[in-house]
C-alpha cells in the first residue's frame, strides 16, 4: 500500500511535513533497532536481562540527548527529530526507549538547563557518548504522584551537603554512574544534585520480579549520610519547577514513543490477518478483523498528528505542560488499546514470544503509569479547563 512506503503507516502523508533530515534520522534509527534490538529483545525480556552493551551503542547512534547542543556532545537537533528517535526505539521496545529517554530528558537535560558550565563540560559529553549511564531520582516509596511531599533531604555542612533518603522505581539506577537527585533543603525548598557512584553511603539496589519493562534495569537510590560536594548542586533551579521541567521533556518523548509500539502491533496484526486462514479465507477478509485494523490505523493517524503538532510547538518554544500531558496520556492509552486488539487478532499465538504483542502490552502497563499516571494527566487537563486542581 502506498501509505506504507515509508515502512510505517502514514495514512495522512505526514512524511510531507518532515524534512529530509527527519527522514534520514528515522531510517538510521530504524536500521539500528532492526540490527541491535529486534533480533535479541524477546530473549532479553524472557531472561529479564538488561544488555549493558546497548548503552555505548545508543551513544554511537546519537540517541542520547539529541536536542543538546553539539558542543556538549549532543546532536543539536530539533524536537521532531527527538520524537522520531524515541518512536523508532520504542518500536523495538519500551524498556530500550526508557533507557534513552531517561538519559537524554531526565539526566542530560537538567544538567544542561539548570547546571553550571563546569557541570555541563564534566558530565554531558560522557553521557552523550554512552561512556556513562545516568538516572533521575524523584519518585519515592511513599511519594509518587505527589513529588512535593518528598522526604529525601540535604543539610548544609559548610563545605558539602549531607544527603539522606531513598528513591524508588528508578530506571537505569543499578547500572548508573551518575544520578540527578531531587531533595529538600533545611528550608523545605527542592534542590537538584548530581550524585556519583562511589560516594560513600550511596547504593542502588535492583528491583526484581517485574512483569513489565523486563529488558530495562530498574532500582532504588538509597542515601545514607552521603557527602555531596557543593559544586554538585544544580545552581540555576529551585522548587518543583526543576524536576517537572525534565518530565515535560520525557513525556513529550513518550508521546512519540507510544506511536512506535502501536505501529509495531498494528503491522504484526495486519500481516497475521492476511496470512492466517480460517473458514477457507484469510481472517483479514472478515468484517470484525477489518474493523479492528481500520480502528487501529485511525487511532495511530490521530496520534501522529497530535505528536507532530506538539513537536512543532516545542520547536517554537510554545508547548505547554498541559499540552504535553494530553499527548502522553492519549498516545499511551491508544497504544495499549491497539496492543490488546492486536493480541485478539493473533489468537493464541498472540501470547507467545514469537510475536511482539504481549511484550509490548506488558511494557505499556508501566508506560501508562510512569512519568505521570493516566489519571493524573487527565486531571492536569481538567485543572487547565476549569482552573480548579482536583488532585490537591
What are the catalytic residues?
A: 371
Query: In this structure, what are the phi and psi dihedrals at residue 239, rounded to the nearest 5 degrees?
Result: 90, 180
User: Residues 191, 98, 363, 182: what is their CA dihedral angle, to the nearest 10 degrees?
Assistant: -10
Distance between CA atoms of residues 222 and 205, nearest Å: 8
Residue with cell 547546571: 115
Q: What is the DSSP letter of 105?
A: I
Residue 86 near residue 97, CB atoms below 8 Å: yes
Contact 172, 134 (CB under 8 A): yes
**C-beta of residue 380 within 8 angstroms of C-beta of residue 386:** no
* Nine-digit cell string for 99: 533507557
Distance CA 5, CA 14 (A): 12
Identify the burial level of 382 via C-beta atoms within 10 angstroms of its C-beta, where 0-12 means exposed, 13-18 middle and 19 or more buried: middle
d(CA 273, CA 245): 43
H-run or E-run covering 334: helix 321-345
Rounded Cα–Cα distance for residues 337 and 148 (Å): 32
Q: How far is CA 38 from the centre of its chain?
A: 18
CA angle 294, 298, 299 (to 5 degrees): 120
273: Cβ contacts below 8 Å, ≥ 6 apart: 282, 283, 284, 289, 293, 345
What are phi and psi for residue 375, nearest 5 degrees? Answer: -75, -40
Amino acid at each position: 500500500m502506498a501509505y506504507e512506503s515509508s515502512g510505517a503507516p502514514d495514512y495522512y502523508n505526514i512524511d510531507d511535513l518532515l524534512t529530509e533530515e527527519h527522514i534520514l534520522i528515522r531510517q538510521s534509527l530504524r536500521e539500528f533497532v532492526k540490527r541491535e534490538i529486534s533480533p535479541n529483545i524477546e530473549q532479553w525480556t524472557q531472561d529479564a536481562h538488561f544488555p549493558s552493551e546497548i548503552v555505548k551503542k545508543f551513544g554511537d547512534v546519537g540517541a542520547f540527548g539529541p536536542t543538546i547542543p553539539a558542543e556538549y556532545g549532543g546532536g543539536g537537533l530539533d524536537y521532531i527529530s527527538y520524537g522520531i528517535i524515541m518512536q523508532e526505539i520504542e518500536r523495538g521496545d519500551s524498556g530500550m526507549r526508557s533507557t534513552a529517554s531517561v538519559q537524554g530528558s531526565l539526566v542530560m537535560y537538567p544538567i544542561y538547563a539548570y547546571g553550571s558550565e563546569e557541570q555541563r563540560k564534566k558530565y554531558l559529553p560522557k553521557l552523550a557518548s554512552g561512556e556513562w549511564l545516568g538516572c533521575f531520582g524523584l519518585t519515592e516509596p511513599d511519594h509518587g504522584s505527589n513529588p512535593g511531599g518528598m522526604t529525601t533531604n540535604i543539610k548544609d555542612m559548610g563545605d558539602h551537603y549531607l544527603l539522606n533518603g531513598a528513591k524508588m522505581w528508578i530506571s537505569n539506577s543499578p547500572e548508573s554512574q551518575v544520578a540527578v537527585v531531587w531533595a529538600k533543603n533545611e528550608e523545605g525548598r527542592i534542590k537538584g544534585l548530581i550524585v556519583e557512584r562511589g560516594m560513600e553511603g550511596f547504593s542502588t539496589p535492583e528491583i526484581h520480579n517485574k512483569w513489565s519493562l523486563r529488558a530495562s534495569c530498574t532500582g532504588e537510590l538509597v542515601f545514607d549520610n552521603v557527602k555531596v560536594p557543593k559544586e554538585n548542586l544544580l545552581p540555576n533551579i529551585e522548587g518543583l519547577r526543576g524536576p517537572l521541567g525534565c518530565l515535560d521533556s520525557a513525556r513529550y518523548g513518550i508521546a512519540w514513543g507510544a506511536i512506535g509500539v502501536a505501529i509495531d502491533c498494528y503491522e504484526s496484526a495486519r500481516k497475521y490477518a492476511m496470512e492466517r486462514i480460517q473458514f477457507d479465507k484469510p481472517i483479514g477478509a472478515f468484517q470484525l478483523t477489518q474493523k479492528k485494523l481500520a480502528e487501529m490505523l485511525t487511532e495511530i493517524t490521530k496520534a501522529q498528528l497530535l505528536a507532530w503538532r506538539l513537536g512543532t510547538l516545542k520547536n517554537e518554544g510554545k508547548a505547554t505542560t498541559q499540552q504535553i500531558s494530553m499527548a502522553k496520556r492519549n498516545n499511551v492509552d491508544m497504544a495499549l488499546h491497539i496492543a490488546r486488539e492486536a493480541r485478539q487478532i493473533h489468537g493464541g499465538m498472540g501470547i507467545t514470544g514469537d510475536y511482539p504483542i504481549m511484550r509490548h502490552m506488558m511494557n505499556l502497563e508501566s508506560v501508562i503509569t510512569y512519568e505521570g499516571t493516566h489519571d493524573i494527566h487527565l486531571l492536569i487537563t481538567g485543572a487547565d479547563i476549569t482552573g480548579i486542581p482536583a488532585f490537591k
